[in-house]
Amino acid sequence: MKKDKLTDAISSIDQDIVENFVLLDAKLQKKAALRKSKMIKILSSAACLVLVLSISMSLAFDKENPITPNNNKPSTGGGSVPPASYHFESEDDLLLFLDLIRKDPSELKEYDLLEVYKDSPPPYFDISWVNPGELFEFPIEPHGMWIGVTEIPYAKEKFENIGYFTAKDSTSIEKFSHRFYRDYSGTETISYSVITIDGIAYCFDLRKTDEKQSGIKSFISYIRQGGKFYMKSELCGSEIKFYKMKNPNTHIYLEGFTYFEDYTVSMRIFVYNKEDIDKINLEQFVWRDYYEE
C-alpha cells in the first residue's frame, strides 16, 4: 500500500518537470554518444597511426620510393589497404592521449575528449594555409573515388563541434582529416570547414550564414553549378567562397549532405586523383550513422 502511494505521488510529478528532464536527458545522451564516438575513433586512429607511421618510416629510408601524393598507387578497392584515419590534429593531442592511456586506462573512459580540442587555438586559420578570396573552380568530372565519410556531431558551444573523416582507402591520400567549426556568437553563425589532405589544409569559410540559434536546421551543401563548385547554406541560400587548393594534383569534390538528428550533421567527401578515375569502387564507401550502435 505504501509503495503504491509513493508510486502514485512520484507519478504525479508535474509535466513541466518531466519536460525539463526529457530535454536535459536528450542533451546528456547526445553528449554521452559523442564521448563514446570520440573514444572509438581515437582508439582506432591510434592503432592506424602507429601502423601508418611505421610504414612511412620504412618507406622514408627507401630513396627510390619517396612519399608524394602523385606516386601513390591508385585504389584497388576491396578493403585490403588499411584505413588511415588521423584524428589527432597536433602532436600534443596525440601525446596527451598516450599519456592518459599510460597513466590510467580506466580514467580515460571518463575523460571528455572534447576537452582536448576545446581550447586549442585552431592552427587552420593561419593565413598561409589558405588563399583567401579566390573562388575555387573544380574541374567537372563525372567520377572519382569515395574515400571517406564522417559524422559531424556538434554542440552549440563555441568551437566545440568537430568532425572527422575516416579514410576508407588511403592509397592516394597520405593524410586526411576534417574539422568543422561553428561559432554561435550572438545571432551570427560562423562555420569553418577545414580539410587536410597530404598535409595541406583547405579551408572553406561559411561565415555569415545567418543561422538562428536553434542550429537544428543548418543545412550546408557543397554543390556543383555551371562548372564551378560552391558551398551553400540551404537555410539562407548564401553562396560561400571556396578557397583555392594549394596542391594542384589533388582534386577534391565535396558533396555535403546534412542529416538532421538534432545536432548531428553528416557529410560526404569525394576525393580523387586523376589516376584514380577508373578505379572507382563505391563499395568502399561506408556510411556510418552517428547514433548507430
Return the residue of 35, 175, 241, 246 that touches other proteins, per CB under 8 A. 35
Q: Is the CB of residue 153 less than 8 Å from the CB of residue 37?
A: yes
Residues 91-120 that bind other proteins (CB under 8 A): 110, 112
CA 185 to chain centre: 22
Place of cell 538532421: 260
Q: Tell the smallest beta-carbon distance from residue 184 to other proteins (Å).
A: 21
Q: How far apart are CA 109 and CA 117, in angstroms?
A: 17
Q: Which residues pair with 183 in a beta bridge?
A: 190
Q: Tell the smallest beta-carbon distance from residue 33 to other proteins (Å).
A: 10
Q: Is the dihedral of CA 293, 95, 150, 82 positive or negative?
A: negative
Q: Please identify, using beta-carbon distances, which residue of 194 and 267 lies nearer to other proteins.
A: 267
Q: Is the CB of residue 74 less than 8 Å from the CB of residue 275?
A: yes
Q: Please identify, using beta-carbon distances, which residue of 9 and 127 lies nearer to other proteins.
A: 9
Q: Please identify, using beta-carbon distances, which residue of 31 and 241 lies nearer to other proteins.
A: 31
Q: Tell the smallest beta-carbon distance from residue 262 to other proteins (Å).
A: 10
Q: Tell the smallest beta-carbon distance from residue 282 to other proteins (Å).
A: 6
Q: How far apart are CA 149 and CA 158, in angstroms?
A: 24
Residue 31 touching other proteins (CB under 8 A) = yes
Residues 175-234 that bind other proteins (CB under 8 A): none
- Interface with other proteins (CB under 8 A), residue total 41
Q: Identify which of 81, 145, 136, 137 has the alpha carbon closest to the alpha carbon of residue 274.
A: 145
Q: Please identify, using beta-carbon distances, which residue of 143 and 274 lies nearer to other proteins.
A: 143
User: Using CB under 8 A as the criterion, what x/- string covers residues 233-262 for binding other proteins?
Assistant: ------------------------x-xxx-
Q: How far apart are CA 223 and CA 279, in angstroms?
A: 23
Stretch that binds other proteins, among 27-35, 42-50, 59-67, 271-279 (CB under 8 A): 27-35
Q: Identify which of 244, 279, 247, 250 has the alpha carbon closest to the alpha carbon of residue 143.
A: 279
Number of helices (H), then strands (E), in the chain: 5, 10
Q: Which three cell numbers stand for residue 175?
A: 593524410
Residues 4-23 that bind other proteins (CB under 8 A): 5-15, 17-23
Q: Tell the smallest beta-carbon distance from residue 13 to other proteins (Å).
A: 6
Q: How far apart are CA 290 and CA 153, in angstroms?
A: 8
Stretch that binds other proteins, among 52-60, 126-134, 136-144, 281-289 (CB under 8 A): 281-289
Q: Is the CB of residue 82 less than 8 Å from the CB of residue 48?
A: yes
Q: Tell the smallest beta-carbon distance from residue 15 to other proteins (Å).
A: 7
Q: Is the CB of residue 138 less than 8 Å from the CB of residue 224?
A: yes
Residues 261-280 that bind other proteins (CB under 8 A): 261
Contacts with other proteins, residue ranges (CB under 8 A): 1-3, 5-15, 17-26, 28-29, 31-32, 35, 110, 112, 257, 259-261, 282-283, 285-288
